[in-house]
């Protein structure tokens, strides 16, 4: 239990095991496609298989299989300009990093200590400028 005098900002924040796997999977998906960057689309694709994130998306009536197909199409065609011919690991884009930072801040402000895939989905959907968020909203059942 947290001491009432301890500021929330000093509480350690942890990623759930599932979210950690999703973050690694997002970068691995970008690497498999030989992409220079791991984008929000890669992250959203990885989060489809995250139990917490999938539950949050289903609660918003997102058709996960339709979203998966749409993201594979997007990554394969619309993001082909990010392909690198080197063997460098993909770097998370600024948008990818911003979504994770937003999720962490959201968790901190709510007094929790663990960031889940559901928090990452909330962060992606909070960014109305994000194409990944628009894709998620388009793929409602």
> What are the pLDDT digits (tens) for 97-139?
999 999 999 999 999 999 999 999 999 888 755 555 455 445 5
Under a CB-based contact definition with an 8 Å cutoff, are residues 45 and 72 in contact?
A: yes
Per-residue confidence at 5, pLDDT binned at 50, 70, 90?
Answer: very low
Q: Is the confidence at residue 42, as pLDDT, over 70?
A: yes
Provide the whole-model pTM. Answer: 0.80
- Could you identify the residue written with the tokens 């994000």? 130
20's tokens: 């950690």
Of 58 and 127, more confident: 58
pLDDT of residue 89: 87
């Amino acid at each position: 239990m947290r001491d009432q005098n301890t500021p929330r900002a000093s509480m350690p924040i942890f990623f759930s095991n599932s979210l950690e796997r999703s973050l690694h999977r997002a970068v691995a998906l970008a690497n498999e496609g030989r992409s220079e960057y791991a984008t929000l689309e890669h992250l959203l694709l990885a989060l489809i298989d995250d139990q917490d994130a999938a539950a949050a998306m289903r609660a918003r009536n997102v058709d996960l299989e339709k979203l998966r197909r749409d993201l594979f199409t997007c990554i394969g065609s619309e993001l082909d300009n990010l392909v690198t011919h080197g063997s460098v690991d993909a770097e998370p884009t600024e948008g990818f990093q911003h979504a994770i930072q937003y999720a962490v801040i959201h968790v901190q402000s709510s007094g929790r200590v663990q960031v889940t895939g559901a928090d990452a989905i909330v962060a992606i959907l909070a960014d109305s400028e994000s194409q990944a968020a628009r894709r998620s909203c388009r793929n409602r059942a």
